[in-house]
Amino acid sequence: MTKKIKKTSIAKKISWLAIGSLLTLGLMIPVIYELAFYGQVYPGVRVQGVTLGNLTPQEAQKKLEQQIQTQIPKTITFQFEDQQWQLAVTDLNLRFSADQAITAAYRVGRSGTAINRLREKITAWQEGINLNLNWHFNQTIIDEQINLIAQNIDKSGWPTQVLYQETNIFINPGQEGLSVDQRKLKELTISQIVHLNQEPILVPTRTTNPVPNRETIANLQKQAQNLRGKKIILELEAESFTISDADLVAFLHYNPATSQNNITKWVADLANRVNRSPKNARFSFQNETLLVTEPSWSGREIKEEILVSLIEKNLINLVGNNDKEIVLDLPAQIIPAKIRAEEAGSLGIKEKIGQGESYYRGSSISRINNIRVASEELNGQLVAPEEVFSFNNALGEVTTQAGYQTGYIIKDGQTVPGIGGGVCQVSTTLFRTILDAGLPVEERHPHAYRVGVYEQESQPGLDATVFSPSPDLKFKNDTGHYILIQTQFLPQEWKLIIEFYGTHDGRQSSLSNFRLWDITPPPPALYIDDPSLPKDEVKQIDWAAYGAKAAFDWEVTRNGKILQKETFYSYY
């Protein structure tokens, strides 16, 4: 009995010893593996197909650079049918980052968690791990080559058309076109480069405007015949718009997407003719009475997607039945004007609450024109309670289409030719009106230098420059009532007056302590070439002005309480 126990005890000891040995060996293998390839890329690791295992990073980089250089093709060949184009690889400035690739290869099995490192070593040993190089090349050259290929291959063709001429219907089957799939071709080219593929690239193309078969053409002809003498009438408010049979026939196409596109184009053209922005009524204050000078109108905007669907549906109906016409409500959004003539009595416009004026003696004809156009645009505009008025937004686009002429403007500190020279005369006058009315000034910018015309019968520093979209002149209407802007353009007196009408709430505005310092003499005369002037003619457009710093104090009070108190500075 004793002998059996001893034998069992010895066997257990041997088993535990074997297990311990295996565990130790299991733990030692990774250590031995790391020591065996210390300072080397692990076996099974490749970059761009080049085997780099068992090599130091320096050895691996040298081998990689040598083998890759031999694999880079000298040219890339593009082929379409019997045509070929070749692109020299040297023109691409092709290069790769070998050091980055070697660093990545060396880190295989050496980064991440212990389990991740072990997994990468086993995968590299059993299956291999291939890393790709990061290639750099001039893609602009590729784009230019693809454009050149497209120019030689592309054929525009033209789509199928159903034509209604007088009483006859014609089907133009069109002509099939061909175009290079440039996006796909670029993808193929880049793939060819990064994979060092030397096979010719087959240029991918796609067919455009496929020509329909005879059966399809006959069906189109039948549909067109069924539309003769038919129409769709679209009604909006008191107006109606007719889609004639010629228009309906032109919508037809064997491809539903093309038919929809034909309708969409017609609807877009209709929208350009029908859509309009709402317009507020305009007023004039005369003899203590608020008069309507321009009525308001509602805006309208066609719901184009809905209309396209309606036309598509009813086009099918007209083709398949005997109805001669279909009357539809034109789907549109009506946008009411914010201020209508009948609301004049509720606006609170009762009296003058502010006035500003300026003179423009010596201004050119174009400058005077621009002062007139800008002042007329402001005339009659209303500023709602709590609204922040923007001069640039109220004026709109300063273009020749709006009536402005080329004059001289101050831009980037220089007097240069530009559309709308003289608009700042209006913004300067408006600034003075804002100050006189005692309204909060939200934004104001002085000119870059002193302009003599703004100091005619005025102190320096009372100017305001504007240029869309910035700088701007802004003020807030905090009177609780609407404000009417009214302008007086007086060319015989070289004078512009801007008045505010509303409800006077007792506020009083005062300007004081005008001061001027750091006065510097003007620079020498500056001559600017003006191609519009006759040869050897010199025309003075601006006058020398001393540079200076200017300031004045502005205070607005009501019943002894200060509402606004600010010092306006101008650095010329």
Tokens coding 61: 């980089």
One DSSP character per residue, 266-327 reads: HHHHHHHHH-B--B--EEEEETTEEEEEE--B-EEEE-HHHHHHHHHHHHHHHHHS--SEEE
Three-state DSSP at 336 gives coil
Predicted confidence at residue 213, as pLDDT, reads: 87
Of 136, 129, 132, which is closest to residue 111 (Cα–Cα)?
A: 129
Q: Which residue has the tokens 């080329």?
A: 406
H or E, element range at 476 = strand 474-476
Q: pTM above the 0.85 mark?
A: no
Gap between the Cα atoms of 149 and 142, Å rounded: 11
Predicted confidence at residue 160, as pLDDT, reads: 80
Q: Do residues 209 and 175 lie in contact, with contact meaning Cβ atoms separated by under 8 Å?
A: yes
Gap between the Cα atoms of 281 and 161, Å rounded: 47
Gap between the Cα atoms of 418 and 67, Å rounded: 63
Predicted confidence at residue 6, as pLDDT, reads: 53
Gap between the Cα atoms of 358 and 434, Å rounded: 13
Gap between the Cα atoms of 372 and 33, Å rounded: 90
pLDDT profile of the chain (572 residues), mean per 10: 53 56 56 81 93 92 92 94 94 91 92 89 91 92 95 89 76 88 96 91 92 87 91 94 93 91 96 94 92 92 96 93 92 93 90 96 92 95 95 92 80 64 95 97 93 92 92 96 96 96 95 93 79 77 76 95 95 90
Strands 508-520 and 547-558: antiparallel
Tokens coding 333: 């959004």
Torsion of CA 11, 12, 16, 17, to 10 degrees: -30
Residues 6+ apart with CB under 8 A from 477: 383, 384, 385, 386, 387, 389, 439, 483, 502
Residues 6+ apart with CB under 8 A from 174: 157, 158, 159, 160, 161, 209, 211
Of 543, 483, 542, 550, which is closest to residue 511 (Cα–Cα)?
A: 550
Predicted confidence at residue 11, as pLDDT, reads: 56
Q: Do residues 525 and 432 lie in contact, with contact meaning Cβ atoms separated by under 8 Å?
A: no
| Residue 347 DSSP code | S
Predicted confidence at residue 242, as pLDDT, reads: 96
Of 231, 304, 300, which is closest to residue 266 (Cα–Cα)?
A: 304
Of 154, 210, 145, which is closest to residue 179 (Cα–Cα)?
A: 154
Gap between the Cα atoms of 553 and 560, Å rounded: 17
Three-state DSSP at 78 gives strand
Q: Do residues 430 and 456 lie in contact, with contact meaning Cβ atoms separated by under 8 Å?
A: no
Sheet holding 547-558, edge to edge: 508-520, 547-558, 561-571
Residues 6+ apart with CB under 8 A from 138: 91, 92, 93
Tokens coding 240: 């109606």
One DSSP character per residue, 492-525 reads: GGTEEEEEEEE---S-EEEEEEEEEEEEEPPPPP
H or E, element range at 116 = helix 114-126
Phi, psi for 329 (deg, rounded to 5): -75, 125
| Residue 210 DSSP code | P
With vertex at residue 75, the alpha carbon angle to CA 69 and CA 77, rounded to the nearest 5 degrees, is: 135
Predicted confidence at residue 431, as pLDDT, reads: 97
* Alpha carbon separation from 520 to 449, 541, 544, 545 (Å, rounded): 11, 21, 11, 9
Cis amide leading into 471 (omega within 30): yes
Neighbours of 568 (CB within 10 A): 18
Q: Do residues 160 and 214 lie in contact, with contact meaning Cβ atoms separated by under 8 Å?
A: no
Gap between the Cα atoms of 561 and 525, Å rounded: 49
| Residue 91 DSSP code | G
